[in-house]
Structure 1
């Protein structure tokens, strides 16, 4: 039956081939090409397979979708982005007059058929952005007319066939990027003397870069980043004066950059040496690369000062120098900031995680109004944030976290109306939060934790309608939590106001944060009851209200937060019983209720919390039998100290059996009653005696 179904599924393609053969029987070449194309179609699947309705026996192949002919011969098959899936039929090798084969941006799978090596006239082969796998067919080297070979963004593995570098001497563009190729780069690639574009990025290539690449005199683009290449850059590469883009980032390359690099590449536009092991100083000659738009040197071991000569790069749009050992101090080293004011196209400046110290010069506010990203964090910068920082009106990201900057946040920061990320965390900033911060209506992430900010949280921060991260934790803020902040419509990642001196009740408006994942209010002076509206925060994963002055009962409405994984109510004044409703929170992994005034028994239904890995009920007034199942089965997951009237449970807890405990409880009660009776009798006799001794009137 299965065989019959398979035969039936092939009938349409078979009939089409027979019709085509009959229609062009007088022209053998056309018939062969039609058969090859229909065999190609028969292997197709996916959403785009129905787009080849014109491929039938009623019209000539030259009118078919994606087919181009010269003198009646098929010379091009171009079907990019059609949504095709399936395998590439070996019949493709029968289109011997083919010059262009473009099947890019589809979902083809399997191996590239070896028959493709028969296409000796092929000039363009573009199979990029598919799901082809297997090794690269070495007989691609038989396609000696190739000018463009693009197999990037597939799933090829294995080595690069050396034959490709030996035979494809006319190749101009060669791209194998974003695959899983391994082994060393073949030195024979240096024979591709006509090549102007070589892309081998995002593979697993290893070993040194072959010096033979320096023979590609016309090479303009060399992309080798995201591999495992090691050793030093061969000196021959610096002879490739036609290079416009050189990317060797994310490898294990070492050595220094030649002092005269800026005199070797007059047309260089983008230079990426990032995430390697380069060392030494940054050569001032880089300032001679007048066409340079992007310079990426981050995550290396560069030392010394940043050369002021970089300010000559008037076309520069991005300068990445982060994560090195570059420095500056109050007396020298900051001059480059002043010079970069000449780079009028600068959009991104990354200096984070270096050894810059001293006062950030005021000249930073003279940088281009096109500057969008300014990263200065993880340095030893001190002093105040320049008062005119608001001049950088194009900023979308401003980060000075993990520095020693002090003083107040400048009022002018409110002029950065395009700002999306503000990072002023772990600093010595003090004083009030400027109300102008409420002008940053495009802000989506506010990080100002670990500082000395004081005073109330400005209510106009409720204007930050796009913010989804709001973190002012570990400062000296006081006053109440502004209702306006709780109503921020996009607040979704987390709201962290912990470890301040905020007081007053938790407003019922907390329930408006229906998209919030984390609410962290630990370590304040919040009082009153936990509002039932907190149960409306149905997206919460972490809720931390510990170390406050909250009282009353634990709200039953918490059961509505089905995805809650962590609940911490430790160190408050909560009373009443532990609600059974907590057992409805099936994703709960950590529950902390210690150091409260909770009473009653531990609900047995908490045994149903099978994901619970930590349960802390210590130092309350709980009593009765401790459950044994679920999270109670492992004593290392459970803390119940300071509840003297608990009994039973897992033997590892070393609690008295509940029967003994009950008897002891009754004995203590009877003892108290007997003592009470004796005391009453003594008092009665004493009173009687004293009555008898009263003098007669």
Structure 2
């Protein structure tokens, strides 16, 4: 019996051995060949997988020593694609399977669960979809499970909670949904848990606290919410903690650093954490990387960070740290002890005070350094050249002054230098050209002067060159347009002269060319058509002449502005075929001929061509004269003697005609002088292309000037809404009170001011009526576009308006900011870009009208003056009719002492308007009297108490208080204060005010977008 048992045992062992050896080439070979049949490849990685080679010599295949079965299949990073064959489950001796970093699609086969000996499964970095197979729980010996960076969906199967030997679970960067499963707390051997970059919601389950050996926890980029997960405070073994890009809120515990003392890396960025930075973080002596960026943290940056001797990264950007005061930057002195520091990012905060010279003593290992978009003053220390490893240096969006130190050229490895939107001055050092690895140079919006250094041509890696809105002069160096990698060339708003270099066509990668508002001249180079990557071209406001060159190759262009030049010839038809074109402005040139009507020219909203008097045709909406049916006949050349006779006769006839005109004019002038007080004509330029409007038409359209149609009244008349028979839309009719002294002068001033000017933010004057009423009285009226949202005044002070006319809501912060930009831009147009400068002289909220989408339109030019002399350096304009006072509270102080109307007076009124819009207080409020004005009141509380003086309706209109509202309000009110300075010579120019307001708006949007991520 015993011998029988022994025989059976030996037979069973023999069968097992036979299975192991006999089927090596039968099972494993067939499984691998079946796997290969489902795979595509270009590199021939699997070329050895054939019958000519022994199985164990196939590439990527490892066999066991005893039984020669496949125990490892390593095809990671082999550029394979296709699907994973279910036959992979037949490799029953497999211990390690690595198919990572390929392009396998489809799903993970359920048959992988048959590999009960499997210890390591690496399927990450593919494009696998579907669910995680619950059958993986059969692989009870799994140690490493890497399924991240795929397209896996649904939730995590509960069966995985049985894999108690699991050491690494990587599920990050998929599309997994649901909550973080509580059963993951069963995986007590787990050291690394990564479920980041999915679509999980809820919080972190308390069961995770059982993972006492957990070293790394990654839950970033989900939709997790609540306060900082309390369970994490109990996980003292953590070395790597990443919970960024979620919706966690609330404050961090003050004892944070003592609860998690072993951290090497801590990333809490892009949440909604509030309160102060825990000072105990400085007790984590092992800390190497600390990121709490893009939250709502306040208070100061702890100086105790000096104790973090191993610190390599400190990212605190995008918070509300600092108090706009000098002590805000003391932490920089402390960080000089952190000799391993490589990245210091503290931009987009509230840091104030002078930039300390100690920044030059920061770590020599520092690679990235950014303090952008704060309130830092002072200057860049000369010793900045000590930071020899620096690659990114950002101080833009501050209030730095002084020159750019020559020592900046010692930073030979610098790739990004961003100093835009400061107050820096002096010349740009030619030694900047020694920074040959520079990829982005941003000096935009400063006061740099001198010429553009030709040495920048040495920066052969340069991608973005931003030098707009400075005081640069001279020519654009030819060396600049030879930088073939250049993507952005921005030099607008300077005083550059000469031509646009012909070599501009060498910039084959250029996406944006912006040289508008300079003094460039000559022809637009033909080579511009070779910049095939171009998307935006801005050449407006220069003196370019000649024809528009052949740009038909720029098929990807989106925006083109060639306005305000001296261009001639016809409009090229190729613009019609630019499928991506969103904006084409050819206005105010000398273009002639027929306007195309096909393609993009069918959409008049994206095409602007006004101010070209010899254009004709086009679609109906552009309102041009029709083109002649036949071209004018060609002139035949007359003989020379005949031409002399013709010239002589023409001269005699011309002299006779002049005598006749002079006689008639003299008679007419005498009659006009005699009847001057009873027959003042409307300027002939008005209504030239409009049908004449009679008194009877206006009376009928307003129902006898009924109070039911009354929409406002002013110093010289009343305004009614009306639907005229000649108009398809409602219009506003301003009827002058001719009994009021100055009404006729106001009427003439408004006609004269508006007859030749066009701007999107001016109320459009349609026509005028100069007649007599039914009683024989003199009648004058002006007809404007109707503004359905009324005046800005009624929006700012709704409590003073009849209930039936009150706006249904309040203006938001961004809407008010948009309105200030609208008004500033129209003032800049009136002051600088008109043929003759115009001073409005009565800017106030009641004269700002709002259309359907709350775009602002400046109205009421009854006190406007066309300035006979315009000089930016002097504010007195000697006019014979200079008794302009405007409105109390808004009129400039010099007007009260006999000063003449000037653009500086408009700037003062605009400054008061800005303060009123954002504080909600009129300049004539009872709060102000004696030495207290709206100006002094605002200035006294900035910046610390900006939210206290702000119009509370802004803060209650859905705005997230404190971030970035306070910064935005502070910056806007600062612009207002600088506009309404007492001395005219200290006031901002409208161009500068517009530029700063646009910059504030862009920063506001950028910060809010960043905060929401």
Classify the TM-score, shorter chain: 0.7 to 0.9
Which position in structure 2 is the counterpart of 1:341?
A: 336
Q: Is the 8 A contact 1:62 1:74 kept in 2?
A: no
Secondary structure in structure 1 of the residue aligned to 2:130: strand
- Tell me, yes or no, if structure 1 residue 575 matches structure 2 residue 568: yes
Secondary structure in structure 2 of the residue aligned to 1:155: coil
1:136 to 121, 132, 136: 132
- Report the alpha carbon displacement of residue 539 of structure 1 after superposing the two structures with TM: 4.0
The two structures, once aligned, show a CA RMSD in angstroms of 3.2
Which position in structure 2 is the counterpart of 1:669?
A: none
Secondary structure in structure 2 of the residue aligned to 1:182: coil
| Structure 1 segments unaligned to the other structure (5+ residues) | 1-22, 603-625, 664-672, 688-697
TM-score by length of 1: 0.83
Which position in structure 2 is the counterpart of 1:259?
A: 254
1:597 to 590, 599, 620: 590
Secondary structure in structure 1 of the residue aligned to 2:364: coil
Which position in structure 2 is the counterpart of 1:300?
A: 295
- Deviation string 1:553-604 (CA, Å, 9 cap, x unpaired) is 12544445554443322111233444567678776554322212233x12xx
* Partner Cα distance (1:505, 1:184) in 2: 63
* Partner Cα distance (1:397, 1:291) in 2: 26
Q: Is the 8 A contact 2:556 2:580 kept in 1?
A: yes
Q: Is the 8 A contact 1:156 1:181 kept in 2?
A: yes
- Report the alpha carbon displacement of residue 634 of structure 1 after superposing the two structures with TM: 3.9
- Tell me, yes or no, if structure 1 residue 221 matches structure 2 residue 190: no
* Partner Cα distance (2:242, 2:499) in 1: 56
Which position in structure 1 is the counterpart of 2:225?
A: 230
* Partner Cα distance (1:548, 1:482) in 2: 17
Which position in structure 1 is the counterpart of 2:460?
A: 465
> Which moves more between the two structures, 562-571 or 495-504?
562-571
Secondary structure in structure 2 of the residue aligned to 1:504: coil
- Report the alpha carbon displacement of residue 164 of structure 1 after superposing the two structures with TM: 0.9
- Deviation string 1:516-571 (CA, Å, 9 cap, x unpaired) is 232221101122333444444444333322111223x1254444555444332211
* Partner Cα distance (1:677, 1:34) in 2: 107
Secondary structure in structure 2 of the residue aligned to 1:230: strand
- Report the alpha carbon displacement of residue 303 of structure 1 after superposing the two structures with TM: 1.1
* Partner Cα distance (1:129, 1:678) in 2: 89
Which position in structure 1 is the counterpart of 2:771?
A: none
Q: Is the 8 A contact 1:351 1:376 kept in 2?
A: yes
- Tell me, yes or no, if structure 1 residue 239 matches structure 2 residue 230: no
1:562–1:387 distance in 2 versus 1, CA, 3 Å: same
1:413-428 aligned at under 5 Å gives the runs 413-428=408-423
1:149–1:341 distance in 2 versus 1, CA, 3 Å: same
Which position in structure 2 is the counterpart of 1:540?
A: 534
Number of residue pairs matched by the alignment: 626
- Report the alpha carbon displacement of residue 49 of structure 1 after superposing the two structures with TM: 6.7
- Report the alpha carbon displacement of residue 503 of structure 1 after superposing the two structures with TM: 1.7
- Report the alpha carbon displacement of residue 421 of structure 1 after superposing the two structures with TM: 0.6
1:657–1:253 distance in 2 versus 1, CA, 3 Å: closer
* Partner Cα distance (1:587, 1:334) in 2: 47
- Report the alpha carbon displacement of residue 122 of structure 1 after superposing the two structures with TM: 1.7
Which position in structure 2 is the counterpart of 1:46?
A: 41
2:99 to 103, 107, 113: 103
Q: Is the 8 A contact 2:301 2:331 kept in 1?
A: yes
Secondary structure in structure 1 of the residue aligned to 2:479: helix
Secondary structure in structure 2 of the residue aligned to 1:156: coil
- Deviation string 1:501-528 (CA, Å, 9 cap, x unpaired) is 1123333343443432322211011223
Q: Is the 8 A contact 2:575 2:600 kept in 1?
A: no
Q: Is the 8 A contact 1:439 1:463 kept in 2?
A: yes
1:226-625 aligned at under 5 Å gives the runs 226-327=221-322, 330-490=325-485, 492-551=486-545, 553-559=546-552, 561=554, 563-578=556-571, 589-599=582-592, 601-602=593-594
* Partner Cα distance (1:107, 1:219) in 2: 31
- Tell me, yes or no, if structure 1 residue 158 matches structure 2 residue 154: yes
> Which moves more between the two structures, 270-279 or 42-51?
42-51
1:525–1:312 distance in 2 versus 1, CA, 3 Å: same
1:630 to 582, 593, 599: 599
- Deviation string 1:347-395 (CA, Å, 9 cap, x unpaired) is 1100000110111211111101111111100101112222322221211
- Deviation string 1:161-209 (CA, Å, 9 cap, x unpaired) is 12212x1111111111111111001111011111111111111111101
Secondary structure in structure 2 of the residue aligned to 1:631: helix
Which position in structure 2 is the counterpart of 1:77?
A: 73
- Deviation string 1:275-302 (CA, Å, 9 cap, x unpaired) is 1111221111111222211101101111
1:649-660 aligned at under 5 Å gives the runs 649-653=618-622
1:457–1:33 distance in 2 versus 1, CA, 3 Å: closer
1:211–1:644 distance in 2 versus 1, CA, 3 Å: same
* Partner Cα distance (1:391, 1:560) in 2: 47
* Partner Cα distance (2:57, 2:566) in 1: 84
TM-score by length of 2: 0.58
* Partner Cα distance (2:434, 2:209) in 1: 54
1:213–1:582 distance in 2 versus 1, CA, 3 Å: closer
* Partner Cα distance (1:389, 1:681) in 2: 75
Q: Is the 8 A contact 2:61 2:70 kept in 1?
A: no
